[in-house]
Each structure stands twice: as C-alpha cells, then as structure tokens.
Amino acid sequence: MLERVVRILEAFTPTDRALTVGEVSRRAGLPTTTGSRMVADMVEHGLLTRDDDRRVRVGTRLWELASRASPTVSLRELAMPVLEELHRAVGHHAQLGVLDGEQVLFVERLSADQAVVNYTRIAARLPLHMSSSGLVLLAHAPAELQERVLAGPLARLTPATPTDPGELRRRLADVRRDGFVVCPGYLHPEATGIAVPVRDEHRRVAAAVSVIVPNDDRARDHVPGLAAAARRIEQRLAAS
C-alpha cells in the first residue's frame, strides 16, 4: 500500500506537476481503476489535490507536513542568510546540496533573473560525478560509495563532463587537497560550477555550497568568497 503511495508521488516531477488520473496510474504502473481509487483516497487526505480541470497535483498539506519538520530544514535555515549574501555577491545561482544515496540532492537554490543556465532546482538531484557539489560530496564520501560511483555508468552531458574513472579519482584527491572544485562546462558549455564542502562540528562534510557562473576566465575568482561562506555556515552549525 505505502509502496503504491510512493509510486504515485513519484509520478510528479518539476516539469510535470499536474497529471490526469490516467497519467498518474500509467506512471505508477497501476491499473486505472486502482490508480483512480488511490488518487481519490490521497486527495481526501490532502496528499494530492485536484485542479479545476480535474488534473491531479501534489497537495499543499503534504508539502507542509514534509517541510515543517524535514531533516533538511534546519541546515537550510542556518545556511540561508549566508547563501543570500553569497548570491548577492556572485549573482547567477547559489545553492546548497547534500549527499543522498548516490546523488546530490539540492535543498536550496537562489537564482538571479539574468543568471546563466543551471540544471538544478530545489529538491532536484544530479549524479555525483558531473556537478561541482557532487564532486565535493563524493570526495569526502566513504570509499565504498566512491568505488561504486567510479565503476559507472558515468553519463556524459557535454564533452567536458569527466567520465574516466582514473581522471575522476585524481579530481577527488585534488578536491580533498584544495578544499574546492571548479567544473567548467561539465553540465552545460556556458556554465561553470564551483563548490566547497561544509563541515559539521565533527569535521564531517555535511553539505556542499556552490555557485553556478558563466564559463569564463573569471569563474575562479569566486573561490575565496565561496570558501568564506562555507566557514560562516560551519560557524552557524557549530553554534546551533
């Protein structure tokens, strides 16, 4: 039963926020009669809502229940004033990501109107090897996870996306030594991601803070400001 609830919720994505009952059922792999009954049940309990045109959406009540006590909310709230200042200084995109499974999950993103392209959204995921946040988190992840990720498959989005396990291994060592990573054009030819780790009071890497800026000679100039932002988030974590 819970399995089906999760499959129904998984049918909705940032680009497909409103679906017909038929679409929900098909995506969840359920017969339409079952899907239709479950959707009605979930609507009744506020987990889903129905539009005026009968299309189905994730319910505000579910968002509320999931957000008000979520494990990411305290990290996000502590980081937010720092992320705002970073965003003001850098423009474009500033974001906060955590390791979840074998991917980076973005818990916050601030974007400017005229910002360079970016693939992340709030609550969106990216593979670890192709994003700056992912490489920071992978560099400090357990060896077992590193091996699993390096064993592939390693998808390539642009000619610059690193997909050679040996090269990636060297990049991870560089990240640990340098304390930051610069990823020009890994996700899109016009964008550079830069990320630094955020450590908790036990010096474990708890998150990555990153900016996405144009892919040009000045991208690296943002490293010191990004590192300073990470230190400030760490101080706030330690003080909380």
Choices 26-34, 60-68, 154-162, 178-186; region in contact with its own copies by CB under 8 A: 60-68
Segment interacting with its own copies, rule: CB under 8 A, options 24-32, 62-70, 204-212, 216-224: 62-70
Write down the least CB distance from residue 76 to its own copies, Å: 8
Give the Cα separation of 95 and 109 in Å (integer): 4
CB 125 within 8 A of CB 100: yes
Residue 64 interacting with its own copies (CB under 8 A):
yes
Asked if the peptide bond before residue 197 counts as cis, ω within 30 degrees of 0, the response is no
Q: How far is the CB of 49 from its own copies (least distance, A)?
A: 7
Burial class (CB in 10 A: 0-12, 13-18, 19+), 160: middle
- Decide whether 9 or 160 has the Cβ nearer to its own copies: 9
Among 49, 158, 161, 163, binds its own copies (CB under 8 A): 49
Q: Is 89 in the site for its own copies (CB under 8 A)?
A: no
Note whether 228 binds its own copies by CB under 8 A. Answer: no
Please report, as a single letter, which amino acid is at residue 49. T
Binding mask 113-152 for its own copies (x = CB under 8 A): x-------xxxxx---------------------------
Binding its own copies (rule: CB under 8 A), the pick from 34, 88, 173, 190 is 88
- Identify the residue among 67, 152, 156, 221 touching its own copies (CB under 8 A): 67
Task: Kindly list the residues in this chain that would bind its own copies in the complex (CB under 8 A).
Answer: 1-3, 5-6, 9-10, 12-14, 16-17, 41-42, 44-47, 49, 57-74, 77, 80-81, 84, 87-88, 98, 100, 105, 110-113, 121-125
